[in-house]
């Protein structure tokens, strides 16, 4: 409790609502711009390389850098903050928070929830694609039988052209089916990853918006700017490889760019309505629980759907020693870059 008193004294010395509000307005603009730069850079880079021989290798290296960024974000930034929030003296002195390590429990629940979503969506994609694959086979057989007895209709000619394209490729139908499954999997990974990052970004924004401590906000503005650049590059690399349409890509980039600024605005509104700042007990509990949950999602996505998928199940990676070494270097660089930022945020 003596430590609590010392912390409170330091906090009161730095409390200045007017100065904090000005810093928050500056941070909204800075974070939005850096978020746009971070997430659009790998997307534009991938589109520049698209159609060129180096396209697949470039997107793979970008994605490995992204995996390092996401892993470091979850383990070095989000999870320690969640533990710290629930270990705060105002929270840890109460039941049930002092009786059980809830941060670890909620992190585990987040990872299991991400696995459940992954399994459910993958099963749905498999059944849907198999059903569609079977429809093409049935149509092509019926068309073959009818071609010898009557003149083909426009619809039958269209099906015949599809069948001819498949047969000319020398069994390429199974290959294209596999490619479709991989592409759908990449899109699922990008979407679930963005959900986890949005959780994290909202927590950061709301916490800053509720804070009246200018000593805390001032270094956070610069640190979060770099944080958003690296995290945006991580998510943008996954979006680039997933091959979304232009509209979907633009929407996902926009949502990432505005989430943290919107969180700051929401935090400012919550403070003005409730009077709770970032040191209040309820705010700390909410930050700890949401942070733990998003950390579990990000840890699962980084290790299972990004790192393991590329390093152990990517044919291009397994057949090219130079690419494997370069990708591992990109993974390490992404982890180090994000980890260094933990010195300030």
Q: Which of 2-16, 119-133, 229-243, 251-265 has the highest mean pLDDT?
A: 251-265
pTM above 0.75, yes or no: no
Residue 232, classified by CB atoms within 10 Å of its CB into exposed (0-12), middle (13-18) or buried (19+), is buried
Residue keyed to tokens 């996902």: 252
Interval 229-270: pLDDT, tens: 888 887 888 888 787 888 999 999 999 999 999 999 998 898
Is the model's pLDDT at 297 over the cut of 50? yes
Report d(CA 334, CA 20) in Å as an integer: 32
Report d(CA 315, CA 142) in Å as an integer: 36
Which residues fall within 8 angstroms of residue 147, CB to CB, at 6 or more apart?
A: 156, 160
Helix (H) or strand (E) holding 98: none
pLDDT-based confidence at residue 310 (cuts at 50, 70, 90) = confident
> At 107, phi and psi to the nearest 5?
-60, -45
Tell me the domain boundaries of the chain. 15-46+53-130+178-343
The pLDDT of residue 134 is 53
User: What's the mean pLDDT in 97-110?
Assistant: 90
- Angle of CA points 58, 187, 233, to nearest 5°: 45
3-state SS class at 93: coil
Is the model's pLDDT at 312 over the cut of 80? yes
CB atoms within 10 A of CB 140: 17
Given a contact cutoff of 8 angstroms between Cβ atoms, the answer to whether 66 and 334 are in contact is yes
The token pair at 317 is 């990676």
């Amino acid at each position: 409790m003596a430590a609590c008193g010392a912390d409170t004294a330091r906090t009161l010395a730095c409390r200045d609502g007017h100065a904090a509000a000005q810093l928050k307005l500056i941070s909204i603009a800075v974070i939005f711009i850096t978020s746009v730069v971070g997430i659009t850079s790998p997307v534009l880079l991938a589109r520049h390389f698209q159609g060129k021989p180096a396209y697949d290798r470039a997107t793979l290296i970008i994605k490995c850098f992204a995996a390092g960024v996401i892993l470091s974000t979850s383990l070095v930034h989000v999870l320690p903050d969640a533990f710290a929030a629930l270990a705060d003296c105002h929270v840890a002195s109460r039941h049930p928070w002092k009786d059980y390590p809830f941060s670890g429990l909620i992190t585990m629940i987040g990872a299991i929830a991400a696995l459940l979503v992954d399994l459910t969506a993958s099963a749905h994609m498999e059944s849907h694609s198999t059903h569609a694959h079977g429809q093409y086979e049935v149509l092509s057989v019926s068309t073959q039988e009818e071609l010898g007895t009557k003149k083909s209709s426009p619809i039958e000619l269209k099906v015949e052209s599809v069948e001819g394209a498949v047969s000319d490729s020398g069994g390429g139908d199974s290959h294209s089916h596999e490619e479709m499954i991989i592409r759908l999997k990449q899109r699922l990974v990008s979407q679930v990853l963005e959900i986890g990052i949005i959780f994290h970004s909202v927590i950061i924004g709301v916490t800053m918006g509720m804070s009246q401590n200018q000593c805390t906000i001032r270094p956070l503005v610069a640190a979060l700017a770099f944080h958003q650049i690296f995290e945006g590059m991580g998510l943008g690399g996954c979006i680039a490889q997933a091959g979304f349409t232009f509209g979907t890509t633009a929407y996902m980039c926009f949502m990432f760019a505005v989430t943290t600024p919107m969180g700051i605005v929401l935090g400012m509104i919550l403070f003005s309505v409730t009077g709770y700042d970032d040191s209040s007990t309820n705010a700390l509990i909410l930050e700890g629980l949401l942070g733990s949950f998003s950390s579990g999602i990000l840890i699962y996505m980084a290790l299972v759907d990004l790192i393991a998928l590329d390093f152990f199940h990517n044919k291009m990676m397994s057949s090219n020693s130079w690419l494997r070494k370069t990708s591992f270097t990109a993974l390490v660089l992404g982890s180090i870059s994000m980890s260094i930022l933990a010195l300030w945020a």
